[in-house]
Structure 1
């Protein structure tokens, strides 16, 4: 925190230096909040007119800070944080997969040009930021506008459009001292001037990696990616008012797993990252996205739009679950999804009334094909009960069970599963504002949402090892020998119980999600607003792996109360925006255990919680040389109740604990400067300590806060720019996760230096 304050103070002092402020070009930060159009709410309002808490990353900022991936944006945004490497993110402390480790629906969705991306592809899918026009992170529920999977918020990426008037070409080469190479290019222009334009872009990245595998050789986190995109833009003269955009995006990724472990037993493991896994830790993504966006201006203030998207994503995630050089456990999850969406919108932008009415249809099909080798801790308590029912005294049963667990501490299982999924969603929605007076506006919205989902499962489980020999415990026919024979049969029975023939559950859900609020424009430069809205996450069915049964669970709901401030000061040179919120959340989907073994669990509705906090974002032009920006996020999360169903043997009580990966403070700030052709940026981001687990003992799963500083300095000659950059400039050592045994962990990105060359023609 002190570091960010230091950066901003430095910028203020530099701004006061008269000799640097004379006869130099304006600051590189040319985009102001009044110029930024927020598209995520589908009404195309400026940032200052938007009451939702939205953080916008512009092309200027992407270039100034050398931002490469969506994960870089997470780390620079107030009240947003990444989790488990690139596996996911939180918005206002809410994990995009849910906070209770239960349920299948997401709480937040990433969209690329209107196409929703499956969360299984987010660790390396079409979310890199080359040729991206804008990134919007909408914090807080978007259930009225976005509907499906938007209880926590939404992330909207918009790629650069094709021009029908001007030709342009862009290129970039990046190199780092970590043997990471990136080659990017884009070009486009009119095929038919003022009517039809095209833009093509491509990016190729080759990263050697930094986690050396001493068992297999090579690097666990090496990476190869290819991202190709083509866009057409058609504005026919024969149909004035018609605007058609079509795009196709193809991504191929071969790299490390969703997250990569480093052995923490290695001396100086921050500087010497090693792993000993005998099996590959890899993540493969094949993604194809097609989007057709058609708009027609019916009248000067009335517009009809249609957005159609198709997304085909396949991921293969493989990891050595034990992390040792022995061939013990291996996980291989192959997921394939096809997603189709269709949205129709009617936008009206009148002097008093403005807003959108729409209809939405969604279909996602596919599923998971798992082929794993796992070890299950031998259930001593279950064996004791089995022996006591067979007539053994309690003390003798405990002694025999302990001896058996010494001979077979873990039950090796080969487990494969086919889990098909079909989700169909349809909705009607509306969102608008009515100016009652020149200052006071009423805000209102609704969504009627209907979902049908079908979840299926077919599993095969076989014992994958050698059972203890009864003869080692006693001669044939003796009670001890017979007891071990019975235990062996019980172990095989536990494994066999996890196998099941194909079964499926179909569920249907309906939800009405209202929104209401007031907005007051006190002056042309000062507006406040207050809104209340309901958010929703659908229910479904989950498989209990140990019992091979499908168990239904219900939806969860939240009420969200939010206030906002939008303000400009010093003749528009300073912008100060803020949001505060309170969320009341009930029927939360979480995981409950039922006692057979470590895999005897399924999703239940057991949690109730609340959270509150706020975001502050400041941007200012200090003078003609410098501009500065800063953001701060604060959130408090807490489980109020945790009521498990009868029969649950879960020992973890979530009541009183905080959400995992919900940092209390997230701070970020930066300074841009330009003198002649020399342009530079220094930025820093801070995340306070987080818990990587839940429950009253979560202090044992705490990782400390960290501050990361980045910088870029370049010579901009107009058509070309050469620059140097540093990531984690001060070489901050930090962990994102530590395994319960403390032997392995996810280590934060190291200090990295690099250089680049950009061309803009």
Structure 2
């Protein structure tokens, strides 16, 4: 098969290739040697560890180069230097990770284009990218928008991780590790100020409480920034940032064999957020009088600006995106000598308190729109692992997870709703003015799993790693929707029009399924610095329940057949090489993969009788193919470099009942066949590269190290909507960040950073506004921003 690239794409790929081959340095210092604290002493005396990255991708500490998994590792130092404060901005360093986040609840994470269904969040659906923080699964994707707190490193594991990270990780996992409490006193403080009144403070203190027995660690972070959109109606700056977070840990080591870690965290966000601005107007198949231009003119409405980079919004309702997340865990490790028993007990909760203006205009179409959501989860994991066996390393375990998500939503329509949502019908404004829809839902999920994985060292060169996990999961959901308000009328035609917008319904549903997932992997060491691997993995994501209004059957009742969606099954073949060259100065890893997904879970449109609704259903088949290249270096004459390039081709192999793109919507909505169309949220080409130069120097009496660095990333165009509408295609863009600083020998550091230094104009996400008038809104990416950071470490 021959793939033809556009001229612009060829130029980007060529540019990246030149930079990778000729730049004398791309990689950040800690990107290459990220070592857990407990290994520092031994690693320093072991020459075999030089240039190695240590990870826990297989629930044990080992060199990333020996693991038969395509993965990316980012250290705390790299996160700080590049200004990456959360998972959303991590995408600039990890090309295969994509995050679309118009707000916290509707955050969607994908790896290699898989992992989430684009559209409004549905509580009955699990994510396919698992987020794990200190071995604890974090169910809600909104956690991706919270600030990092005292991070040790972040591992992005690509492809199904169904054996050891088994909670629905069909697309991959983010394995996040925070710093441990220590028996040596240490403290860090950091303050940043910058554009748009940006302010961020971070502080950490750690040390012994009882010598060699009890240690503690406490970290706090706070971030504030004015909004980058201005609303001339409310005279407010919107899409601001306002968040605080705290994390604490107590570490008990009563004996050499027993370690107990008690950890807790809490984060809160109170931003003036999140709204979107005018991006474009799409032409539909509706009569001209029912499209945006005519409708806006009929109410003398003129948008604040048709240029999204003017950053002007004109919503006329309050907006709010408050979220609160917290939890605690107890991790116990007991070393029996040949084996270690690990217990991970955790509780977490997440509360979402929003307000939205869903028509995104100054018109009174949607007066109120809010879906507050409250989640709580409990989990227990037991693992038994071998300790340094010569021939076979193994891990077996049991896992239990229980979750409840409750939502109490409200949508109220205004004086312009009848005109805007029922165009051409001459319906009176009073028909929908004050018409209010209340929706209440609750879903319980209980999951049990047993798993095991081993690594058999067949000989000095060949290792085989089979693994299996059996998961049994049950969901029970209840949904109720009622309506009130609007004008009193006995006109059947008007009543039916109003019911076409929303009508009362309620249903209960349950689903239960069990599945076997796992992998078989082989690694062959050509020599100590050249490993070849192959992995076949099967992932499983449990069935879901639509926690939203269902399409109606011919009797006007909810179609219960649409309440439950089938499990998603993923098969992936990964082939790769992991290499190090020139005495491990250069690390270069290449991976080729092919993924097939059966019953991909997505937002679709039903074409049956009654009022049509967007809801969740199964896509028959999805296919993704790709190649990934990751390179880093250690210091070469003071220079370091990294470069990552990914080519990913994903498509709906069979999607006959898909949502229609905006340009194909007429007076009646029908399902469209999207088979062969590109998978949304996926750039065919994505890459990141950067360089840093460090040099010992003095400033007067101050001695230390001066440095300067550049980080760049790019993504080719992609669709930001599951329908692949031409009006929701986000254009290719590039971002360049600069930084320079001075680090004193005595623990002080100061640096200046410039994010989006070239002031590139790009759109982060796009939404087709309800009513299908043709209006398309979006969120412009951050403009150029300058920041100054001062750090102190003791």
Per the TM superposition, whether the score is higher than 0.5 is yes
In structure 1, distance between residues paired with 2:155 and 2:270: 27
Name the SS for the 1:75 alignment partner: coil
Task: List per-residue Cα deviations over 1:487-520 (Å, max 9, x = no partner).
Answer: 1243355567x3135x422221100113213221
Query: In the alignment, what sits opposite 1:216?
Result: 234
Q: Cα gap change, 1:423/1:222 in structure 2, threshold over 3 Å: closer, same or farther?
A: same
In structure 1, distance between residues paired with 2:227 and 2:486: 34
> Shift of the alpha carbon at 1:99?
9.0
Query: In the alignment, what sits opposite 2:647?
Result: 634
Higher gyration radius (CA): 1
In structure 2, distance between residues paired with 1:465 and 1:45: 68
Q: Cα gap change, 1:323/1:40 in structure 2, threshold over 3 Å: closer, same or farther?
A: same
Query: In the alignment, what sits opposite 2:355?
Result: 318
Q: How does 1:404-423 map to 2 (within 5 A)?
A: 404-405=425-426, 413-423=435-445
In structure 2, distance between residues paired with 1:568 and 1:344: 36
Of 180, 183, 195, the match for 2:198? 180
Of 753, 758, 769, the match for 1:730? 758
> Shift of the alpha carbon at 1:690?
0.6
In structure 2, distance between residues paired with 1:178 and 1:327: 30
Q: Cα gap change, 1:557/1:574 in structure 2, threshold over 3 Å: closer, same or farther?
A: same
Task: List per-residue Cα deviations over 1:123-166 (Å, max 9, x = no partner).
Answer: 533xx2241111111111111221122111111211111102x1
CA contact (8 A) 2:220 2:247 kept: yes
Of 382, 394, 398, the match for 1:355? 394
TM-score with structure 1 length normalisation? 0.86
Of 707, 713, 723, the match for 1:685? 713
CA contact (8 A) 1:124 1:253 kept: no
TM-score with structure 2 length normalisation? 0.83
> Shift of the alpha carbon at 1:525?
0.9
Calculate the aligned-residue CA RMSD, in Å: 3.0
Greater CA drift, 433-442 or 27-36: 27-36
Task: List per-residue Cα deviations over 1:190-238 (Å, max 9, x = no partner).
Answer: 11222211111111222111111211121221221110111111111xx
Query: In the alignment, what sits opposite 2:6?
Result: none
> Shift of the alpha carbon at 1:27?
6.2
Of 153, 156, 162, the match for 1:137? 156
Query: In the alignment, what sits opposite 2:45?
Result: none
Greater CA drift, 580-589 or 244-253: 580-589
CA contact (8 A) 2:192 2:789 kept: yes
Of 583, 593, 600, the match for 1:588? 600
Query: In the alignment, what sits opposite 1:572?
Result: 584
Query: In the alignment, what sits opposite 1:701?
Result: 728
CA contact (8 A) 1:151 1:537 kept: yes
Of 404, 421, 425, the match for 1:365? 404
> Shift of the alpha carbon at 1:269?
4.2
> Shift of the alpha carbon at 1:617?
0.6
Aligned residues: 705
CA contact (8 A) 1:204 1:225 kept: yes
Query: In the alignment, what sits opposite 1:607?
Result: 620
Q: How does 1:386-397 map to 2 (within 5 A)?
A: none
CA contact (8 A) 1:673 1:680 kept: yes
Where does structure 1 lack aligned partners over 5 or more consecutive residues?
16-25, 382-400, 468-483
> Shift of the alpha carbon at 1:9?
6.2
Query: In the alignment, what sits opposite 2:330?
Result: 292
Query: In the alignment, what sits opposite 2:674?
Result: 654
1:163 matched to 2:182:
yes
CA contact (8 A) 2:76 2:151 kept: yes
Query: In the alignment, what sits opposite 2:288?
Result: none
Of 292, 313, 331, the match for 2:369? 331
Q: Cα gap change, 1:209/1:724 in structure 2, threshold over 3 Å: closer, same or farther?
A: same
CA contact (8 A) 1:220 1:282 kept: no
CA contact (8 A) 1:226 1:252 kept: yes
> Shift of the alpha carbon at 1:734?
1.0
In structure 1, distance between residues paired with 2:31 and 2:675: 46
Query: In the alignment, what sits opposite 1:518?
Result: 522
> Shift of the alpha carbon at 1:751?
0.4
CA contact (8 A) 1:457 1:504 kept: yes
Q: Cα gap change, 1:208/1:282 in structure 2, threshold over 3 Å: closer, same or farther?
A: same
In structure 2, distance between residues paired with 1:458 and 1:633: 44
1:242 matched to 2:248:
no
1:755 matched to 2:784:
no
Query: In the alignment, what sits opposite 1:273?
Result: 311
In structure 1, distance between residues paired with 2:751 and 2:790: 6
Of 616, 621, 624, the match for 2:634? 621
CA contact (8 A) 1:561 1:582 kept: yes
> Shift of the alpha carbon at 1:34?
5.2
Of 539, 546, 550, the match for 2:543? 539
In structure 1, distance between residues paired with 2:276 and 2:181: 38
Where does structure 2 lack aligned partners over 5 or more consecutive residues?
1-11, 35-49, 281-302, 553-557, 659-667, 697-704, 769-773
In structure 2, distance between residues paired with 1:625 and 1:189: 33
In structure 2, distance between residues paired with 1:380 and 1:751: 37
Query: In the alignment, what sits opposite 1:20?
Result: none
Name the SS for the 2:675 alignment partner: coil
CA contact (8 A) 1:107 1:537 kept: yes
Task: List per-residue Cα deviations over 1:382-427 (Å, max 9, x = no partner).
Answer: xxxxxxxxxxxxxxxxxxx986356679956411111101000000
> Shift of the alpha carbon at 1:380?
14
> Shift of the alpha carbon at 1:263?
6.6
> Shift of the alpha carbon at 1:596?
5.7
CA contact (8 A) 2:432 2:498 kept: no
1:425 matched to 2:462:
no
CA contact (8 A) 1:357 1:431 kept: yes
In structure 2, distance between residues paired with 1:745 and 1:636: 25
CA contact (8 A) 2:115 2:170 kept: no
Name the SS for the 2:690 alignment partner: strand
CA contact (8 A) 2:364 2:413 kept: no
In structure 2, distance between residues paired with 1:654 and 1:249: 43
Of 500, 504, 514, the match for 1:499? 504
Name the SS for the 1:155 alignment partner: strand
Greater CA drift, 652-661 or 2-11: 2-11
1:563 matched to 2:563:
no
CA contact (8 A) 1:27 1:673 kept: no
Q: Cα gap change, 1:622/1:721 in structure 2, threshold over 3 Å: closer, same or farther?
A: closer
> Shift of the alpha carbon at 1:14?
11
CA contact (8 A) 2:598 2:621 kept: yes
Query: In the alignment, what sits opposite 2:249?
Result: 231
In structure 2, distance between residues paired with 1:14 and 1:607: 42
Name the SS for the 1:77 alignment partner: coil
Q: How does 1:188-203 map to 2 (within 5 A)?
A: 188-203=206-221
In structure 1, distance between residues paired with 2:629 and 2:357: 42
Name the SS for the 1:12 alignment partner: coil
